Amino acid sequence: MASEHATVLVVAEHRGGKLSAATAEAIAAAQQLAAPWQAAVHAVLLEGAAESGLAAQLARYQLAGVLAARHPALAEYTPEAYTQALQEIVSRRQPRAVLFAHSYQTRDFAPRLATRMARALFGDLTALRVEDGRLTVSRPMFQGRLAADLVVPGEAPAFLSVQIGAFRADRAALAAAPAPIAAEMVAPAAPAAAPEAPFQEAKQAVDLTQAAIIVSAGRGIKEAKNLDLIRALADALGGEVAASRPICDSGWLPMDRQVGSSGQTVAPKLYLAVGISGAIQHLVGMKSSRAIVAINKDREAPIFEIADYGVVGDLFEVVPALIEAVKAAKAGG
């Protein structure tokens, strides 16, 4: 089927004049997918009318080309203008697949684009496999407690977005000579209202990215006052206190203590997750930690999938005992 569609498009994402880190991951996934199809990979760049140097950055990768679609209506991201522009490009180029990084921005417009083209967006993908000519993809379900395989229907194009961190940016093959850059004509309508500039709520008071040891609390701690237990453990270990989203949403800890896709991304020497089940939104923020220890009463909790050491047990018994054991070990016991 569709062997004439020997093209794979990968949509670049950028903010503040820089490509997102996940764009290289999406390129790596596109290169991997294109190989068995012997398809040519083109990167698609959507940007405002001014030349920014982003196309040249994309051209460093091993690509058949960079399609630079420049239009004033694309100067700031809006779902409508992105949907219109990509619909034009996809209709013209007839790719076999269109790849994205599964970022907040992709989640904002790609389902709309896929629906407009009578397709689905297969999102949050951790693996892409071509078997017997059929494309099978994998993604988490039930907050990562289970995984699912889905077979992507054969009719091109397939819209695919890959989970942040699932494909390695350093696997994106670089080109010996820069890939050709071609202007791609698009005419999206100007958005009804331009979005305002992105801002941060407050300067982050705590830089968790610099912490060597992080003790992080999740929903399992049940009440705000039980955070004292987490603080005591962090003190004993000489680490910082962090938390998963529900804890910060409840106001039990300030937002700058939040680890995960909407908080900070950390990679300490030790990440000790207490009462954190390990929803995917949390895991993306800490899975690169050098060592991960999890304490959780649910043996099936996804956090154990990525832990080096796991304690299945009641945190209200384990943590006080661990505080004592750490103090004893420090004292040379």
Query: What residues between 286 and 325 interact with another protein by CB under 8 A?
Result: 290-291, 293, 298, 300, 302, 304-314, 317-318, 320-322, 324-325
Q: Give me the phi and psi of 110, to 5 degrees please.
A: -65, -35
Q: Considering only residues 129-168, where is the footprint of another protein by CB under 8 A? A: 136, 139-153
Q: Smaller CB distance to another protein: residue 3 or 115?
A: 115
For residue 274, the minimal CB distance to another protein (Å) is 12
Q: Smaller CB distance to another protein: residue 61 or 122?
A: 122
Pairing of strands 270-274, 291-296: parallel
CA atoms within 13 A on the CB side of 267: 3
Note whether 82 binds another protein by CB under 8 A: no
- Per-position x/- string for 180-209, each x denoting binding to another protein as judged by CB under 8 A, each - no binding: ------------xx-xxxxxxx--x-----
Select from 281, 280, 285, 283 the least CA-distant residue to 307: 283
Q: Considering only residues 217-246, where is the footprint of another protein by CB under 8 A? A: 219, 237, 245-246
Q: Considering only residues 16-75, where is the footprint of another protein by CB under 8 A? A: none
> Which listed range, 33-41, 56-64, 88-96, 114-122, lies at the site for another protein (CB under 8 A)?
114-122
Q: How many CB atoms lie within 10 A of CB 117?
A: 16
CA distances from 289 to 159, 189, 204, 266, 303 (A): 31, 44, 21, 7, 13
Note whether 51 and 44 are within 8 A (CB): no
For residue 3, the minimal CB distance to another protein (Å) is 22
Tokens 């990167």 locate to 43
User: Contact with another protein (CB under 8 A): which of 65, 95, 123, 157?
Assistant: 123
